[in-house]
Each structure stands twice: as C-alpha cells, then as structure tokens.
Amino acid sequence: MKIILTGATGLVGRECIRIALLNPQITEVISVARRQATFPDGLPSQADKSKLKSVILDDFGSDWPAHVLEQLKGADACIWNLAVTPSKSKGMTSEELKKINHDYPFVGLKSMLAVANSAHPFRFIYTSAALTERDQDRALWVMGEERKLRGTVEIELLAEAAQSKGRIELQITKPGAITDSQTPMARRMMLPVLEAVLGLPSVHVSDIAAVELHQAMNGTGGKDVMSNAGLVELGSQALKEWKIEKCA
C-alpha cells in the first residue's frame, strides 16, 4: 500500500507518518512538501523508518513536474492535509487563501491521477473541518470567509469524484477542535464551551490520522463524508485493531 501525504509537517500529518511507520500493511508513505519530511518525536523502535520517502515540490499551484510524478507512480491513495487553518490565516489575502485552500488540492489531484495505481479507484482523503459551510448565502458571524471557502472545496471535490466515473474514491473528513497529549489545560477546559456555543466538537489527533489511513487502505465504503463523531469511533477501533497506542 503506497500512500501520498501532504501537510506532513502539521499536527495531523506528523501523526499520519507515525502510525503509517508502525503499520506493516503500509509499505510506503510519501510526503510531498516544500521541505524534507522528518520523523515524529518519540517514534517507537519498532517503527519502520525506511517506509518514509520525501519528495520536494516547490510549486503546488502548477501541474506537478515529471520528476515529482515519477516518484509517485503506482500510488494507491492520497491523504490531503495541506491547508491554511483559521488560526494561521491572519494577514493573508483572500487570493492567497483561495490559492492554498482551493486551488492546490485540485491541481494535486489531477497530477496524481495521471500516475496512480489504475487497478482500483484512487482514494483521495481530504481533511476539511467540522464547521465548514457549503451554503454560500448563509450569514456567518465567526470565520465566515474561511468556512465558506472550504465548503466550496467540498462541493467541487464531490462533483469531481462523481464525474470521474469511479476513478476517484473520495472521503472528506470533518474534524472539530484537534487535541493531543500536549494540548494545554486552558484549551482543554475551553472545549466544552466551544461545543456548546459554536457546535464545535473535539477529536484526538490519533483518531483523525488513524481513520484517514484506514480509509486510504481499505476504501471509504461509499461514505463520502466522515463526521467528527465518526472519526472518534472509527479511529479508536482502527488503533485497537492495529495495536497502536495514541501519540504520547
């Protein structure tokens, strides 16, 4: 099982790498990024570090070059974790946000499809967010621009998959507030408030990463959206099945 990963330096991406290196069913995980991928801290000794490959891509907004695609040949799936989160979007223009959050995944999907394993549908696992908004006319009082932009991406990805005649197997994961063992206590205490006021649930990063890898490996079962509740449930099941602990 050969899996492409974007956003490998982020919280979810790093956890995807950790679990992939511990899972013998995954033979290769390829990080596509602007810089070299690194191993997560505290990686257990049984992790197979030889499975991690790093491919440098300077421009995600243009068709990916041949020397990059050559290293992605035969890939079975992609986990797309590359995005600008609301907390990091301050100071960015609407054009910059659209380029990264909207344009990049479509250029990437088109490029990867050209060299992916054709024996089965190419599985594209796209990380969105719980509060994205597909209704572009709805008034939002918190992070409206970012939420509607990601909602547009969801709509267009679903259309792309529908028009692919079975070539693309898509799943959109919609995590809420992401936590790990390093999450400060002050933030932990705010999570119930965020859920009560904004309707924003929480999920452990290991659960998200486990589900995304599980779906990349096994397929989506025809389910094109995975809710936060689904991430919590299936993530725990997958980790238990693989006998992998949540990140320390």
Q: Nearest to residue 153, comparing CAs of 84, 215, 100, 101? A: 101
Q: How many Å apart are CA 167 and CA 108, to the nearest integer?
A: 15
Tokens of 199: 């309707």
- For residue 85, the model assigns a pLDDT of 78
Whether this model's pTM surpasses 0.85: yes
- For residue 192, the model assigns a pLDDT of 61
Superfamily of domain 2-176+204-242: NAD(P)-binding Rossmann-like Domain (3.40.50.720)
- For residue 178, the model assigns a pLDDT of 85
Q: Nearest to residue 109, comparing CAs of 129, 152, 132, 79? A: 79
- For residue 144, the model assigns a pLDDT of 78
Q: pLDDT-based confidence at 72, cuts 50/70/90? A: very high
Find out whether 203 and 173 touch, Cβ atoms under 8 Å: no
- For residue 141, the model assigns a pLDDT of 78
DSSP 199: -
Buried b (16+ CB within 10 A) or exposed e, 145-175: ebbbbbbbbbeebbebbeebeeebbbbbbbb
Per-residue pLDDT at 15 exceeds 60: yes
- For residue 220, the model assigns a pLDDT of 94
Q: Nearest to residue 168, comparing CAs of 113, 223, 215? A: 113
SS3 184: coil
Q: How many Å apart are CA 48 and CA 28, to the nearest integer?
A: 10
Find out whether 148 and 136 touch, Cβ atoms under 8 Å: yes
Tokens of 225: 């959206």
Average pLDDT of the chain to the nearest whole number: 91
Q: How many Å apart are CA 51 and CA 30, to the nearest integer?
A: 8
Tokens of 92: 């960015």
Q: Nearest to residue 62, comparing CAs of 114, 99, 32, 94? A: 99
**Packing angle, helices 228-242 and 205-218, rounded to 10:** 80
Domain ranges of the chain: 2-176+204-242
DSSP-assigned letters across all residues of 124-154: EEEE--TT----TTS--SSSHHHHHHHHHHH
